[in-house]
């Protein structure tokens, strides 16, 4: 007997799964999008974190970074050779870091430039500079520029720059190269840096001496204990040579100076990504529950023909897994690309070399786990619940009737409030027809709104912090003089310039106090007059200086890195300009936007500092107030003072405009906020997807109701408005809830960000902009998310309604 060849066909339930995916493409796209958004966000953050952490370590370590960086008074090459012979020291180099004045327009405008002089570039092996363009070794009377200077100056290789000496003489240097230097602290407000030889430094009128020691250690250069042991030996040798230790930085060779801040910010972004993942999970649960409600009769028919509970469960679990795999295919390349772009941005910001584009296996694994297991966890309970229905329950299921009593409630509401139109009352009633689905949708939109508003609250808080910092820069122009000058001499000269409203003379000094480990904490002391109106720091503890204060000092919060227990009212032993140590009272502590300064900024009374330094009636810092406070005017008068002082033979080190520093800090804050705002927009996208899904499912459940409305003469616009009102009403409720939820989210977000930036917690400021902007966004998104479901509802014919199962 001839045998019929076997044919292999898929079982009906698996065909149903494939058909559910293909024939309901809009619903499939909705579920895939809801999963993919959270998977993308988490994958992008992980990719950025891994790429940046890996390349930061490799790039920084590849430059052979100094394990010990010491700032002290000037020394020569002989002292470098003495340090090189100390036990534990592998390499040592001396460098000179100073500030000069730079001009690109033949002296019309001048800007501050930090210059690093190295004696032997050819044999310099610590913090090896990477070439970006041109040379990496300058000849005499040539200058190299660190690549980040391009953020502030439009400079090209081959261009000639004018450098101003303290005497006022101008010398020209040719730019022969752009380099990337890992030793320079990065950030949007990083100062421009240049490199010259020691011979060039002498030609520019500076002393040919070093003021920085760069040291690498023998043995394990990533063991901080080993580094600190060698550092202590070097510090002891400095003390024996009567060399004051102004600052010391000990760091392993695998830790970039800015890594803590950058990775902390990425961790905050990761937390937001995780929160979006939770939102995506609730969205998935909502969508799958609605899907099962829609297919209750199909489940009843399957059970009627013999399907077992396990078969029904497995079928829908396979559907969930397939949807997760589709979202994974979409999100993996997008997350990899987004993570790499983030890494490139931070790399440029910190002068870190980022390798070529690559996929991060760790990110892919996490994305795969999220894309598979989160949907399963979100859908397993509605799947099991649906599979347990009896045939009678499944076939007789009428989701439209399950409104939890909301219909009767709104009927009574309509009777008591006759001014509410019937169509509006129906739309409001339909909002609450499925309380569970509404709850999940409101959860998604509420948290999304809370994050969105919190970002603007954080921005307002950071701007408030900048505003409080402006109290440190109230003068329009600050001039650092090369030596103490008589106040009456300088004031009468400057105040004779039209447009100058007032001047003040301050003194600057260095103070030092023992840290407890043998080293000293160095204070840069600014000494304003007691009645000064040009200083108003943001005091976080205690008070500022008052008339009658004697040995009183106000210090920046950065002191807590060395003395974490210090508080207002405590006393410290401090010497001024290497003088005899005396007892000083810390009367106040103020916030300062610098986390890793070489010094502790502080303020002490001019009357006391001038007496202790024998400079009564003299000053080293000139503060100038102008009639017109604008950056353009500040720059114009800075150049005027520059010319005036040169003509009068008054030597100065720098002239700084007050608004320049504030603008650089503001740019840094704006860059940071833009990242968080991008994450907030993603959360808004998640919320709108959830609302679109809810509205689609609500329309599906209202098929019969819409058919009845069409049968009694309802026009398309009436059906569409009914659905739109429902969606907008849901958005409005979520906005009200979002206002409450944003409070804890705002505090948590600001705490993490402020600790990463300033090592202290900034005060919270709530922004009305965030509240009202989110109102406009959520109402707009609600309307957009409801348009397609409303349009579909308006197109339903009576015949289609009657044919609907």
Q: Using N-to-C axis directions, what is the helix angle for 435-469 and 768-795, rounded to 10°?
A: 150
Q: What percent of the chain has pLDDT over 90?
A: 14
pLDDT for the residue 400: 44
Question: From CA 532, how far away is CA 505, in angstroms rounded?
Answer: 10
pLDDT for the residue 753: 75
Question: From CA 200, how far away is CA 206, in angstroms rounded?
Answer: 9
pLDDT for the residue 242: 82
At 313, list the tokens: 């469960």
Residue 89 banded pLDDT, cuts 50, 70, 90? very high
- Strand 520-527 to strand 539-542: parallel, antiparallel, or no bridges (unpaired)? unpaired
Distances (CA, A) of 414 to 264, 267, 403, 722, 730: 54, 51, 17, 16, 19
Highest mean pLDDT among 93-97, 264-268, 376-380, 395-399: 93-97
Contact indicator for 605, 545 with CB cutoff of 8 Å: yes
User: Is the pLDDT score of 412 beyond 60?
Assistant: no
Residue 705 banded pLDDT, cuts 50, 70, 90? low
Mean pLDDT of the residues in the chain: 79
Number of CB atoms found within 10 A of residue 422's CB: 8
Average pLDDT over residues 686-713: 67
pLDDT in tens, 707-757: 666 666 666 666 677 777 777 888 888 899 989 988 998 888 888 777 766
Q: Which residues, at least 6 apart from 546, have a Cβ–Cβ distance to it below 8 Å?
A: 530
Q: Note the Cα 540 to chain centre separation in Å.
A: 23
* Count of CA atoms in the C-beta half-sphere (13 A) of 358: 11
pLDDT for the residue 8: 42
Question: From CA 162, how far away is CA 101, in angstroms rounded?
Answer: 8
Average pLDDT over residues 498-526: 83
Contact indicator for 161, 102 with CB cutoff of 8 Å: yes
575-579: list long-range contacts, CB under 8 Å, 24+ apart: 575/511, 575/512, 575/513, 576/509, 576/510, 576/511, 576/525, 576/609, 576/612, 576/613, 577/509, 577/510, 577/511, 577/612, 577/613, 578/244, 578/510, 578/512, 579/612
pLDDT for the residue 707: 64
Q: Among 437, 460, 450, 322, which Cα is nearest to 21's? A: 322
Number of CB atoms found within 10 A of residue 388's CB: 12
User: Is the pLDDT score of 679 beyond 50?
Assistant: yes
Residue 417 banded pLDDT, cuts 50, 70, 90? very low
Residue 523 is classified by DSSP as E
Number of CB atoms found within 10 A of residue 717's CB: 10
Give me the torsion for CA of 221, 226, 229, 230, rounded to 10°. Answer: -30
Contact indicator for 243, 75 with CB cutoff of 8 Å: yes
Q: Among 450, 346, 316, which Cα is nearest to 771's? A: 450
Question: From CA 35, how far away is CA 32, in angstroms rounded?
Answer: 5
Contact indicator for 34, 287 with CB cutoff of 8 Å: yes
Question: From CA 492, how far away is CA 65, in angstroms rounded?
Answer: 49
Residue 516 banded pLDDT, cuts 50, 70, 90? low
Q: Which residues, at least 6 apart from 522, have a Cβ–Cβ distance to it below 8 Å?
A: 245, 246, 247, 510, 511, 512, 598, 599, 600
Sign of CA dihedral 489, 492, 498, 501: positive
Q: What percent of the chain has pLDDT over 70?
A: 76
Counting beta carbons within 10 angstroms of the beta carbon of residue 508, is it exposed (0 to 12), middle (13 to 18) or buried (19 or more)?
Answer: middle
Residue 138 banded pLDDT, cuts 50, 70, 90? very high
Kindly report the pTM of this predicted structure: 0.66
Contact indicator for 115, 98 with CB cutoff of 8 Å: yes
Question: From CA 319, how far away is CA 14, in angstroms rounded?
Answer: 9
pLDDT for the residue 36: 82
pLDDT in tens, 204-219: 888 889 989 999 999 8
Question: From CA 165, how far away is CA 102, in angstroms rounded?
Answer: 10
Q: Using N-to-C axis directions, what is the helix angle for 259-294 and 658-701, rounded to 10°?
A: 10
More confident residue, 273 or 744: 744
More confident residue, 120 or 17: 120
């Amino acid at each position: 007997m001839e045998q019929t060849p076997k044919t292999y066909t898929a079982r009906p339930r698996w065909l149903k799964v494939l058909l559910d995916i293909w024939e309901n493409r809009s619903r499939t796209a909705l579920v895939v999008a809801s999963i993919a958004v959270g998977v993308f966000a988490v994958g992008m953050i992980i990719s950025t974190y891994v790429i940046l952490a890996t390349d930061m370590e490799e790039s920084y370590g590849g430059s052979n970074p100094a394990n010990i960086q010491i700032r002290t008074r000037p020394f020569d090459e002989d002292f470098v050779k003495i340090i090189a012979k100390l036990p534990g020291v592998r390499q040592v180099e001396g460098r000179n870091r100073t500030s000069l004045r730079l001009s690109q327009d033949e002296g019309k405008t001048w800007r501050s430039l930090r210059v690093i002089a190295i004696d032997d570039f050819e044999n310099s092996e610590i913090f090896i500079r990477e070439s970006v363009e041109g040379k990496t070794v300058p000849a005499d009377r040539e200058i190299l520029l660190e690549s980040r200077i391009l953020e502030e100056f439009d400079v090209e290789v081959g261009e000639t720059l004018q450098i101003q000496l303290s005497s006022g003489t101008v010398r020209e240097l040719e730019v022969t190269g752009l380099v990337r230097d890992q030793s320079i602290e990065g950030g949007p407000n990083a100062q421009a840096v240049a490199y010259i030889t020691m011979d060039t430094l002498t030609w520019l009128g500076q002393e040919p001496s070093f003021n920085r020691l760069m040291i690498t250690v023998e043995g394990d250069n990533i063991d901080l204990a080993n580094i600190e042991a060698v550092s202590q030996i070097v510090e002891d040798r400095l003390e024996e040579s009567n060399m004051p230790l102004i600052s010391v930085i000990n760091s392993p060779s695998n830790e970039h100076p800015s890594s803590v801040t950058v990775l902390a910010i990425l961790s905050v972004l990761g937390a937001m990504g995780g929160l979006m993942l939770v939102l995506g999970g609730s969205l998935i649960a909502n969508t799958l529950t609605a899907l099962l409600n829609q297919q209750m009769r199909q489940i009843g028919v399957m059970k009627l023909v013999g399907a077992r509970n396990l078969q029904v469960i497995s079928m829908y679990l396979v559907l969930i897994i397939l949807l997760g795999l589709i979202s994974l295919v979409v999100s993996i390349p997008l997350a990899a690309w987004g993570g790499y772009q983030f890494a490139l941005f931070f790399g440029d910001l910190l002068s870190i070399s980022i390798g070529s584009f690559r996929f991060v296996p760790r990110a892919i694994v996490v994305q795969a786990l999220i894309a598979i297991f989160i949907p399963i966890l979100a859908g397993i309970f509605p799947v099991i619940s649906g599979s347990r229905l009896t045939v009678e329950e499944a076939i007789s299921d009428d989701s439209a009737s399950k409104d939890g009593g909301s219909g009767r409630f709104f009927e009574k509401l309509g009777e008591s409030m006759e001014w509410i139109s019937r169509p509006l009352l129906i739309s409001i009633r339909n909002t609450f027809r499925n309380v569970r689905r509404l709850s999940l949708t409101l959860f998604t939109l509420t948290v999304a709104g809370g994050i969105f508003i919190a970002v603007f609250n954080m921005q307002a808080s950071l701007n408030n912090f900048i505003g409080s910092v402006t109290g440190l820069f109230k003068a329009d122009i600050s001039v650092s003089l090369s030596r103490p000058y008589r106040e009456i001499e300088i004031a009468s000269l400057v105040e004779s310039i039209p447009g100058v409203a007032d001047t003040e003379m301050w003194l600057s000094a260095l103070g030092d106090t023992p840290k407890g480990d043998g080293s000293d904490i160095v204070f840069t002391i600014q000494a304003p007059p007691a009645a000064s109106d040009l200083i108003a720091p943001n005091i976080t503890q205690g008070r500022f200086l008052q008339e009658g204060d004697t040995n009183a000092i106000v210090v920046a919060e950065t002191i807590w890195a060395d003395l974490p227990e210090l508080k207002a009212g405590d006393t410290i032993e401090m010497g001024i300009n290497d003088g005899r140590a005396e007892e000083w009272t810390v009367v106040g502590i103020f916030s300062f936007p610098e986390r890793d300064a070489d010094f502790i900024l502080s303020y002490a009374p001019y009357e006391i500092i001038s007496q202790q330094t024998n400079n009564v009636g003299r000053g080293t810092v000139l503060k100038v107030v102008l009639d017109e406070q604008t950056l353009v005017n500040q720059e114009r008068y800075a150049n005027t003072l520059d010319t005036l002082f040169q003509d009068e033979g008054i030597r100065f080190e720098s002239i700084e405009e007050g608004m320049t520093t504030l603008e650089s800090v503001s740019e840094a804050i704006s860059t940071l906020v833009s990242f968080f705002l991008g994450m907030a927009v993603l959360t808004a996208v998640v919320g709108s997807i959830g609302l679109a899904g809810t509205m689609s499912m609500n329309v599906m459940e209202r098929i019969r109701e819409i058919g009845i409305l069409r049968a009694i003469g309802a026009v398309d616009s009436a059906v569409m408005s009914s659905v739109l009102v429902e969606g907008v009403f849901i958005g409005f409720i979520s906005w009200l809830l979002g206002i409450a939820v944003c409070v804890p989210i705002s505090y948590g977000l600001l705490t993490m960000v402020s600790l990463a930036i300033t090592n202290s917690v900034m005060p919270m400021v709530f922004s009305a902009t965030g509240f009202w902007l989110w109102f406009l966004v959520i109402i707009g998104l609600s309307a957009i998310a409801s348009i397609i479901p409303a349009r579909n509802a308006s197109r339903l014919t009576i015949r289609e309604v009657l044919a609907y199962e």
